Structure 1
Amino acid sequence: MSWMDLLRMSSSSLLKRKLRTFLTVLGVIIGTTSIVVMFSLGLGMQRAMYRQIEETGGLNTITVTGREAGERAPASSGGKTGQEQKQVTDQLVTQLAGMGHVQSVQPVYTVSAVLLKGGYEAMVQLTGMTPEGLEGRNIKLAPGGRLPQTGAGKLELVYGNGVLTSFTDSRGGSFYDGSGGQPDIDLARDTLFLVLDESGYSRSREGGMSPAGLPGENGGGEGAQVSVQGSSSGQSGAGADSGGGAGRPVRKYAVQASGVVEGSLEDYGEHFSSVYCDLDTLKQMLKKEFAGRPLPGQPVTKSGKPYREFCYTQALVRVDDIHQADSVAAAIRQMGYNAETNAEFMKSMKSQLAIIQAVLGGIGAVSLLVAAIGIANTMMMSIYERTKEIGVIKVLGCSLKNIRQMFLLEAAFIGLMGGAAGCVLSFAVSAVINALTAAKNVMGADGGISFIPPWLVLAAVGFSMLVGMGAGYAPALRAMKLSPLAAIQNG
Structure 2
Amino acid sequence: MLWESILIALEGLKANKLRSLLTMLGIIIGVSAVITMVSLGLGMQQKVQSSIASLGSSLLVITPGAAQAPGSVRMASGSNITLTNQDAKAIAREIGGIRYIAPSVADSYQVVFGNQNWKTKVQGTTGEFLAVRSYKIAAGKFFASGDESTRARVAVLGQTVAANLFGSASPVGKTIRIAQAPFRVIGVLASKGQSSMGQDQDDIVLVPLTTAQERLLGITYLHNISVQVESDKVLDKAQAAITTLLRTRHRLPAGAEDDFTVRNLAALMSTMQETTGNITAFLGGIAAISLVVGGIGIMNIMLVSVTERTREIGIRKALGATFANILMQFLIEAVVISVSGGLTGILLGVAGAKVVSGFAGWNAVISWGAIMAAFGVSVSIGLFFGLYPARKAALLDPIEALRYE
1:111 to 87, 106, 127: 106
- Return the alpha-carbon distance in structure 2 between the equivalents of residues 383 and 147 of structure 1: 78
Q: How does 1:263-302 map to 2 (within 5 A)?
A: 271-277=201-207, 282-283=208-209, 285=211, 289=215, 296-299=218-221
Question: Which residue identity does 1:125 align to in structure 2?
Answer: K
1:340 to 263, 287, 311: 263
Question: Which residue identity does 1:271 align to in structure 2?
Answer: Q
Distance 1:452 1:119, change over 3 A: same
Distance 1:480 1:103, change over 3 A: farther
- Return the alpha-carbon distance in structure 2 between the equivalents of residues 16 and 351 of structure 1: 49
Question: Which residue identity does 1:314 align to in structure 2?
Answer: I
- Return the alpha-carbon distance in structure 1 between the equivalents of residues 223 and 263 of structure 2: 16
- Cα distance per residue 1:180-215 (max 9 Å; x no partner): xx65645743623243xxxxx4xxxxxxxxx6xxxx
- Return the alpha-carbon distance in structure 1 between the equivalents of residues 170 and 193 of structure 2: 13
- Cα distance per residue 1:277-305 (max 9 Å; x no partner): 5xxxx145458748xxxx64533xxxxxx
In the alignment, which residue of structure 1 is the partner of 2:235? Answer: 325
Q: How does 1:163-202 map to 2 (within 5 A)?
A: 163=161, 185-186=167-168, 188-189=170-171, 191-195=174-178, 201=179
Q: How does 1:346-385 map to 2 (within 5 A)?
A: 346-385=269-308
- Return the alpha-carbon distance in structure 2 between the equivalents of residues 156 and 400 of structure 1: 88
- Return the alpha-carbon distance in structure 2 between the equivalents of residues 70 and 140 of structure 1: 39
- For residue 201 of structure 2, give the secondary structure of its aligned residue in structure 1: coil
Distance 1:407 1:158, change over 3 A: farther
Conservation of the 8 A alpha-carbon contact between 2:295 and 2:385: yes
Conservation of the 8 A alpha-carbon contact between 2:106 and 2:223: no
- For residue 253 of structure 1, give the secondary structure of its aligned residue in structure 2: strand
Unaligned runs of 5+ in 2: 70-80, 248-259
Conservation of the 8 A alpha-carbon contact between 1:108 and 1:127: no
In the alignment, which residue of structure 1 is the partner of 2:403? Answer: 489
Question: Which residue identity does 1:63 align to in structure 2?
Answer: V
Identity of aligned residues (%): 26
- Return the alpha-carbon distance in structure 1 between the equivalents of residues 403 and 209 of structure 2: 98
Q: How does 1:137-148 map to 2 (within 5 A)?
A: 137-139=133-135, 145=139, 148=142
Q: How does 1:24-35 map to 2 (within 5 A)?
A: 24-35=23-34
2:227 to 316, 322, 325: 316
Question: Which residue identity does 1:464 align to in structure 2?
Answer: S
Task: Report the CA distance between 1:328 and its aligned residue.
Answer: 4.1
Task: Report the CA distance between 1:29 and its aligned residue.
Answer: 1.5
Task: Report the CA distance between 1:489 and its aligned residue.
Answer: 2.7
Conservation of the 8 A alpha-carbon contact between 2:315 and 2:402: yes
Give the number of aligned pairs. 371
Conservation of the 8 A alpha-carbon contact between 1:30 and 1:367: yes
* 1:253 equivalent in alignment to 2:249: no
Distance 1:402 1:254, change over 3 A: same
* 1:125 equivalent in alignment to 2:146: no
- Return the alpha-carbon distance in structure 2 between the equivalents of residues 138 and 489 of structure 1: 81
- Return the alpha-carbon distance in structure 2 between the equivalents of residues 6 and 325 of structure 1: 63
Distance 1:480 1:126, change over 3 A: same
Distance 1:363 1:328, change over 3 A: same
Distance 1:149 1:286, change over 3 A: closer
- Return the alpha-carbon distance in structure 1 between the equivalents of residues 20 and 100 of structure 2: 65
Task: Report the CA distance between 1:132 and its aligned residue.
Answer: 4.9
In the alignment, which residue of structure 2 is the partner of 1:427? Answer: 350
Conservation of the 8 A alpha-carbon contact between 1:163 and 1:272: yes
Unaligned runs of 5+ in 1: 72-83, 166-181, 196-200, 202-210, 212-250, 300-310, 439-447
Task: Report the CA distance between 1:314 and its aligned residue.
Answer: 0.8
- Return the alpha-carbon distance in structure 2 between the equivalents of residues 157 and 420 of structure 1: 56
Distance 1:332 1:379, change over 3 A: farther
Question: Which residue identity does 2:100 align to in structure 1?
Answer: V
- For residue 183 of structure 2, give the secondary structure of its aligned residue in structure 1: strand
- Cα distance per residue 1:137-168 (max 9 Å; x no partner): 33366xx5366252575666443333369xxx
Distance 1:187 1:318, change over 3 A: farther
- For residue 261 of structure 1, give the secondary structure of its aligned residue in structure 2: coil
Conservation of the 8 A alpha-carbon contact between 1:148 and 1:156: no
Q: How does 1:219-230 map to 2 (within 5 A)?
A: none
- Return the alpha-carbon distance in structure 2 between the equivalents of residues 140 and 86 of structure 1: 27
Conservation of the 8 A alpha-carbon contact between 1:116 and 1:192: no
In the alignment, which residue of structure 2 is the partner of 1:445? Answer: none
* 1:476 equivalent in alignment to 2:399: no
Conservation of the 8 A alpha-carbon contact between 1:107 and 1:316: yes
Richer in helix (by share): 2
- Return the alpha-carbon distance in structure 2 between the equivalents of residues 402 and 9 of structure 1: 12
> What TM-score does the superposition give when structure 1 sets the normalisation length?
0.65
Task: Report the CA distance between 1:422 and its aligned residue.
Answer: 1.4
* 1:135 equivalent in alignment to 2:109: no
- For residue 145 of structure 1, give the secondary structure of its aligned residue in structure 2: strand
* 1:150 equivalent in alignment to 2:72: no
Question: Which residue identity does 2:243 align to in structure 1?
Answer: R
Conservation of the 8 A alpha-carbon contact between 1:63 and 1:341: yes
- Return the alpha-carbon distance in structure 2 between the equivalents of residues 318 and 402 of structure 1: 69
